[in-house]
Structure 1
Amino acid sequence: MRKVVTGTQLMLRLLLELAALVALAVGSYGAWPDAPVVLRALIALALVALAVVLWGRYAAPRRPVRDSAALWYGVQLLIWGGAVALLAFGGHPGWAFGLGVVMVVNTAVLWSLGQWSPAVEH
């Protein structure tokens, strides 16, 4: 049973990581409604690209930089917190709240299973 719960939570974690990228794009695009569409799109793409690079380098399970737990925690907080904040600021507070709640619950469950730590590799 524990393997099923762990596997389900890890799959949800991956989906939440992808949802965070979508939330960054949608939230940043909607955050400046008076800006030109091209600028809004460029900002959204740049934030998603930056998040992908940071996550891959400092927060992914098979990341190349493993010497800093602070970076691991900080990048996750920055990207997930930023995604939720931008989604709320960009005009989708209900989605932001729901996404934030699922992110917190998933993190708590994975932590309780011993699967949320900078030392864990998948």
Structure 2
Amino acid sequence: MKLPAPAHVLNEALAFLLELTALALLAAWGWQTPDSLLPRLLLAVATPAAAATLWGLFAAPKARFSLPLAGVLAVKALVFGSATAALYAIAQPGWALAFGVVAVVNTALATVDRRAGRDGG
């Protein structure tokens, strides 16, 4: 199923916003987790940096390393799942559920759309 052009653009924009939100959520979790400043700062910087590096290497449209679809989806599940867990951990279970559902639906639509475009359908 190929999405109509406007829906494709909106879904891609939403994907980018979800990726940025995931990084922000991981940083917020890192900042709120430990009691002292240095570990807080390290987690707030290192956690989203690790997620961004992982995403850039394996899940980005121009990723450094090409993985099969299952591998790309596993990286996306790890990053979005971690962000969802981070949001849940900072006492926002309702928002965590909403973020997780939107990330799954967006990723599914993008995957189906890209495969249809690649297959010419």
Q: Tell me the TM-score normalised to structure 1 length.
A: 0.82
Looking at structure 2, the residues matched to 29 and 18 of structure 1 have their Cα atoms a distance apart, in angstroms, of 17
Q: Measure how far apart 1:78 and its partner are.
A: 0.8
Give, as a single letter, the amino acid of the residue that structure 1 aligns with 2:38. V
Count of aligned positions: 116
Looking at structure 1, the residues matched to 29 and 115 of structure 2 have their Cα atoms a distance apart, in angstroms, of 26
> Which structure 1 residue ranges, 5 or more long, are not aligned?
none
Looking at structure 2, the residues matched to 67 and 102 of structure 1 have their Cα atoms a distance apart, in angstroms, of 24
- Structure-1 residue corresponding to 2:85: 85
Q: Measure how far apart 1:74 and its partner are.
A: 1.8
Deviations 1:7-47 (A, max 9, x none): 11001100100010011111232234xx2132112112101
Q: Is the 8 A contact 1:24 1:47 kept in 2?
A: yes
Match of 1:6 among 4, 8, 13: 8
Q: Is the 8 A contact 1:20 1:79 kept in 2?
A: yes
Q: Is the 8 A contact 1:31 1:91 kept in 2?
A: no
Looking at structure 2, the residues matched to 49 and 95 of structure 1 have their Cα atoms a distance apart, in angstroms, of 23
Give, as a single letter, the amino acid of the residue that structure 1 aligns with 2:86. L
Alpha-carbon distance change, 97 to 31 in structure 1, aligned in 2, over 3 angstroms: farther
Q: Tell me the TM-score normalised to structure 2 length.
A: 0.82
Alpha-carbon distance change, 86 to 104 in structure 1, aligned in 2, over 3 angstroms: same
Give, as a single letter, the amino acid of the residue that structure 1 aligns with 2:114. Q
Percentage of pairs with the same residue: 35
Deviant stretches of 4+, over 4 Å: none
- Structure-1 residue corresponding to 2:29: 27
> Which structure 2 residue ranges, 5 or more long, are not aligned?
none
Q: Which deviates more from structure 2 when the two are superposed, residues 36-45 or residues 50-59?
A: 36-45
Q: Is the 8 A contact 2:58 2:67 kept in 1?
A: no
Computed over aligned residues only, the root mean square deviation of the Cα atoms, in angstroms, reads: 2.3
- Structure-1 residue corresponding to 2:102: 102
Q: Which deviates more from structure 2 when the two are superposed, residues 99-108 or residues 74-83?
A: 99-108
